[in-house]
Structure 1
Amino acid sequence: MTTVALILKHKGYQVTTVTPTALVSEIVALLSHRRIGAVLVMDQTEQLLGIVSERDVVCSLAANGEKTLEMTAGQLMTRAILVARPDTTVAEAMQMMTVGRFRHLPVMDHDTLVGLISIGDVVKARIMHQDTVVESLTAYVAGSV
């Protein structure tokens, strides 16, 4: 079964991070500029503190209006986040994201951040795996006729 490590091998390991003091207005600009849906919040010692996603911003805008843009990442971030390991299977990652109703999953190797995957990355990996299975079965059936 495909693992998160394989997703990262194809996708890359770059992760966009901010400090807890980054303003939400800056984060929104970063999300838009990089065409991404979330940033991880890290402290000076590279410890993962939380995540700020588009959903966090939208929910805060609904509750707080334009004051949201003056908030910091530390004030807005989701603190209770699940993480995957490189050996987490794609099916396990999909299950975590589906049950938890979130779209971004940090990948940690012990205490070190090694990547960030999205639900789009997971779906793409599942489709590629299914395509490989179909091709293998087709070749097997064609060869045995």
Structure 2
Amino acid sequence: MTVATILKHKGYSVSTIAPAATVPEVAIMLAERRIGAVLVIDQEEQMLGIVSERDIVRCLAANGARMLEMTAGQLMTRAVQVAHPGTTVNEAMQLMTAGRFRHLPVVDHDTLVGLISIGDVVKARIMQQDTVVESLTAYVAGSA
């Protein structure tokens, strides 16, 4: 199973925000959409970074109330790892585990096509395991 399969089930919609948006605006977007991260995109639709709930908490711990005056561009993680549609679910899980992040943008030929979360990856792995179990059960039942 690949990242493309996850996106087919999940959809291709990605929440984005401008780098000049304030941290409170980012927090409101995350809360209203019930999501854990938003991509920071410039006017040319280029991905500049990502802001997650975790980034906001860390910034609050480091900067206190001053954080409320900061922007998404100041807060974002700039070194964003990406997946491609052909990336396998196992490869995506390894990237996320090794990098200790929960959101992975999906890029196809330098174009942002989606965003997957660790929850999406876990759900895909469970579906894979269910398919294997069903196949083995059918095989054993047919052999008996």
TM-score range relative to shorter protein: over 0.9
What residue is the counterpart of 2:109 in the other structure?
Answer: 110
TM-score normalized by the length of structure 2: 0.99
Q: Runs of 5+ in structure 2 lacking a partner?
A: none
Per-residue Cα deviation, 1:64-115 (whole angstroms, up to 9, x for no partner): 0121121101000000010000000000000000000000000000110000
Q: Secondary structure at the match of 1:134?
A: helix
Range with greater deviation from structure 2 (61-70 or 50-59): 61-70
Following superposition of structure 1 onto structure 2, how do residues 8-19 of structure 1 map, counting pairs within 5 Å?
Answer: 8-19=7-18
Q: CA RMSD in A?
A: 0.5
> Which consecutive aligned stretches of 4+ in structure 1 deviate over 6 angstroms post-superposition?
none
Give the deviation of 1:13 after TM superposition: 0.4
TM-score normalized by the length of structure 1: 0.98
Count of matched residue pairs:
144
Give the deviation of 1:7 after TM superposition: 0.2
Q: Structure 1: which amino acid aligns with 2:127? A: M
Q: Secondary structure at the match of 2:79?
A: coil
* In 1, Cα distance between equivalents of 2:40 and 2:53: 14
What residue is the counterpart of 2:118 in the other structure?
Answer: 119
What residue is the counterpart of 2:71 in the other structure?
Answer: 72
* In 2, Cα distance between equivalents of 1:55 and 1:68: 14
Q: Runs of 5+ in structure 1 lacking a partner?
A: none
* In 2, Cα distance between equivalents of 1:23 and 1:125: 34
Following superposition of structure 1 onto structure 2, how do residues 1-145 of structure 1 map, counting pairs within 5 Å?
Answer: 2-145=1-144
